[in-house]
Amino acid sequence: MQQSQRQAVEIVARVLDGAALPAAMAAVNLDNAGPARALVQELAYGTLRHYGRLDALQRLLATKPIVDRDIGLLVVVALYQIAHTRAPAFAIVDQAVDAAVAMGKPAAKSLVNALLRRYLRERDALDTRVAEGDDVVARWSHPRWWIARVRRDFPAHWQAILAAGNARPPLSLRVNARATTRETLLARFADASIAARPAGASGIIVDMPVPVTALPGYDDGAFSVQDLGAQLAAPFLACADGMRVLDACAAPGGKTTHILETASVAMTALDRDEARLPRVRANLARLRLQSPAVRVVAGDARTPDAWWDGQPFDRILADVPCTASGIVRRHPDGKWLRREADVARFAAEQRAILNALWPLLARGGSMLYVTCSVFGDENEARIAEFLAATPAALRETLIFPADVEHQGGQVLPSADAAPHNQDGFFYALIRKA
């Protein structure tokens, strides 16, 4: 355990220094396999989800600031472990003390021990002080500017949105309708003693997450991993057989493959990052969706002259780059890596993509604008601006499933208590008159 604690400290430190979580994980030598590796991931992801609160607790416990950041983070990781895992509290404390020694800082043993044991003694009172204090970052575990934006954009829902961002995400699957049925796949899971339940139109939530490759049907292409909120894109786009379709920001291919599962279309899957395209091709291959009608192309949606063949598309999916503020429960590093200035930077890119793709859409065709953000400046503001400047652009009314909580085109992120447990996505369907 103490090795996992130390590795989690190193990962969290790298993220706080500006590294994305996958890169931080890759940089740490996780030569331990199985449950130990899983523990490192649990501690790193969980600590970042709740970092605002945990850091406030660490500062509250210490009578003066801890000069050594690694020791401070070790206390933070151990606090997460005490609050959110089933490991015995005494073992967590003892292992954290051993971790301080293994980190080459034996002088910090008594400090780590004293702080964590004080937390065990005064846990309820300390938790209440943080939860009811004036520090909103501590209370909600999001940056102050982020909290202010969500509160401004969603005055009736801001607390639920922030709480959902700190929740543990489910393992959500999308059934490949070309390969099997949901009932058949659920039966296969049941035969393998894997508890799962239907969700959404074609989704499944696995109650206890397991390695995806170990699930029945993975090698057969029977399903993909996809959040329930993301599974709304293909039905909203409403493709029909024979259409020409562009997925303008396709990697890793979740929405591309979903469209191909629903209709036989001539698909162009575009992404500007060529290094991500092998994942698109791999997903197409595993799901048995490869065909001459499917093109995977490296190119920038903002510069179609470099890759477009001049033939208009009947449908365009513009799943544009964004702050990813709606999916932070899956990518908790995003809360601490993003800066408020990033919102305007992404908005400019979104504006450029909309303007560049519009001429590629056939008359009477539809473009679905999608983000995985909850910031209005990336969503409603972009669509309102585009509609005002584009006379032929008509916004269609989207009919959301009854169990999906939304505000206009914004799917509100939810947690386990919701019947449709999804991340936060924004959708706007625009038809060319």
What's the distance, Cα to Cα, between the start and end of the chain in Å? 62
CA dist 72 and 59 (Å) reads 9
Exposure string over 160-177, b if 16+ CB within 10 A, otherwise e:
bbbebbbbebbbbbbbbe
Peptide bond into 391 cis (omega under 30): no
CA atoms within 13 A on the CB side of 115: 28
Residue 328: name the closest of 223, 415, 207 by CA.
415
User: What angle is formed at CA 331 by the lines to CA 328 and CA 336, rounded to 5 degrees?
Assistant: 75
DSSP code at position 168: P
Q: List 370's β-bridge partners, or say none.
A: 319, 427
The one catalytic residue among 239, 249, 322, 372 = 372
Give the total residue count for the chain.
433
DSSP code at position 195: -
Number of alpha helices (DSSP H) and beta strands (DSSP E) in the chain? 17, 13
Please give the C-alpha separations between residue 223 and each of 253, 257, 269, in angstroms, as whole numbers.
13, 10, 19
Amino acid making up residue 276: R
Orientation of helix 69-84 relative to helix 109-132, angle to 10° = 60
396-402, long-range: CB within 8 Å, 24+ apart, which pairs? 396/366, 396/429, 396/430, 396/431, 398/236, 398/427, 398/428, 398/429, 400/232, 401/200, 401/201, 401/232
Residue bearing tokens 């629903």 = 262
Q: Tell me if residue 372 is catalytic.
A: yes
User: What angle is formed at CA 10 by the lines to CA 7 and CA 15, rounded to 5 degrees?
Assistant: 130
Q: Are 299 and 306 in contact (CB under 8 A)?
A: yes
Residue 107: name the closest of 97, 117, 115 by CA.
97
3-state secondary structure of 113: helix
Q: Are 414 and 420 in contact (CB under 8 A)?
A: yes
Residues acting as catalytic residues: 372
